[in-house]
Amino acid sequence: MACAAIAIVVAGWSQALAQSGTSLTENMVGQWEFSTAGRDKTCVVTLRGDAVRQDGKRLELEKGCGEVLPFMKSVASWSIKGLDIVRLQDAQGQPVIDMTEVESGIFEGLRPGEGVYLLQNLEAARALSKSADQMIGDWSMVRGNGNAICGLTLTNTDAGDGNFQVFLKPRCDAMVASFAPTLWRIERGEMLLQSAKGEVWRFEADDNAQWRRVPDSADPLIMMRQ
């Protein structure tokens, strides 16, 4: 499964860091995806290991990055601050954004007034995009006993902020019908359904190529391909 591929990539990154004894600086060298939290705006950032002025290291931005995310035009280099902060900084060495590791291989930073941004391993990020593509189509929502309670269609119709439209089919169980999801997205390996009111149901992939609602319960809710 695509989500398993993501886990392998991220686990490999974390394991390499632990086993090699190398520093965070050395393990950050390579290609990364910098994006908004919903991944609706992305650009590739290449972190180099050679030093530049202002106590930083060389950084290369993908062509067009500054047009997608204008503040990135001021990013001139990168550095590690403290034990776990990856700083993208300007030509004077001042921070443009500080990123802290929130999961293995995934860093998160906040720009006041703008929102949260992510920096994650490029290979894992592309596997995540692929997994979203594989979700498009018709699904059944079933109980643990195998009884189907609703049908729904996940589309690739862009709804903004990394979300896509989802449509319920007729004759859904009252619980699902009252929830009435209108959006779906893949976020950090989970599949999220969101209602017009902002309520979110989260699903994790299991070992049977199905998606199971979390937190789990004695009467689980599972999404299966139709």
Whether the domain at 2-128 and the domain at 136-225 fall into the same CATH topology: yes
Class (C level, CATH) for 2-128: mainly beta
pLDDT of residue 21: 39
Residue-wise pLDDT tens for the chain (226 aa)? 444 444 444 444 444 444 333 577 888 999 999 998 877 788 999 999 999 977 899 999 999 999 999 999 999 999 999 888 999 999 999 999 999 988 778 899 999 999 999 998 888 777 666 567 778 899 999 998 889 999 999 998 988 877 899 999 999 999 999 999 999 988 877 889 999 999 999 998 875 568 899 988 888 999 998 8
pLDDT of residue 213: 92
CA distance 18 to 198: 39
Q: Determine the 3-state secondary structure of 72 from DSSP.
A: helix
pLDDT of residue 170: 93
CATH numeric code, 136-225: 2.40.128
On whether the CB atoms of residues 96 and 90 are closer than 8 A, the answer is yes
CA distance 83 to 204: 31
pLDDT of residue 40: 75
pLDDT of residue 209: 67
Where do the structural domains in the chain lie, given as residue ranges? 2-128, 136-225
pLDDT of residue 148: 94
pLDDT of residue 131: 66
CA distance 156 to 138: 12
